[in-house]
Amino acid sequence: MSLYDELKWRGALYDATEGVAEVIAKEKLTGYIGFDPTAKSLHVGSLLQIMNLARFQRFGHTPIALVGGGTGLIGDPSGKTKERQLLTKADVEENVAGIRDQLARFLDFDAKQNPAKLLNNIDWLGSISFVDFLRDVGKYFTVNSMLAKESVKRRIESEDGISFTEFS
């Protein structure tokens, strides 16, 4: 059974672009899932994604687990009614370590052929200065598009509002 067939059989794949089954069968691909390190462990809601990464690896592809060590220090207004409490760098680092330990139960980070990778966005976001970020990244985002997001609208209209940290 191919990866495509297994995902289809398990109900994890509903529809796909024509020809994708052949690409998955012939090419070595890389796939990723992102995790927010706001706790020392992942919740059961992440299990399906983790199992799919494990299946991906079992069929010879490279899985990447991306943890938001940088974004976890800032917060995300999506789906939140108020700003979450900021975590310390030590807390986020401890949470990332706990998540890695959990993922290692399902993914092989030491495999010789297609080892799983754990990437942490603090590794590239942590070295960007505020001025560089505004100049090189910020110019590609309009305030209009950010204000149009439902999660931002709800927070702006709420009693608590939204902080610059979360908004940016």
Residue 27 lies in a domain: yes
User: Do 63 and 112 touch, CB atoms closer than 8 A?
Assistant: no
Residue 83 lies in a domain: yes
Domain with 53, as residue range(s), is 3-127
Could you report the per-residue pLDDT of 84-106, keeping only the tens digit for each? 678 899 999 999 999 999 999 99
Residue 72 lies in a domain: yes
Report the percent of the chain where pLDDT is more than 70. 93
Residue 65 lies in a domain: yes
Tell me which residue of 86, 70, 65 sits closest to 123, measured CA to CA.
70
- How remote is the C-alpha of 90 from its chain's centroid? 20
Q: What is the DSSP secondary structure assignment for residue 10, as one 8-state letter?
A: T
User: Whole-model pTM?
Assistant: 0.79
Residue 153 lies in a domain: no
> Which range has the worst mean pLDDT, 64-68, 82-86, 98-102, 157-161?
82-86
Q: Which residue has the higher pLDDT, 40 or 79?
A: 40
Alpha helices in the chain (DSSP H): 3-9, 20-26, 47-58, 89-103, 122-125, 130-136, 143-147, 150-157, 164-167
CATH code (residue 86): 3.40.50.620
Number of domains in the chain: 1
Residue 20 lies in a domain: yes
Output the pLDDT for position 25.
92
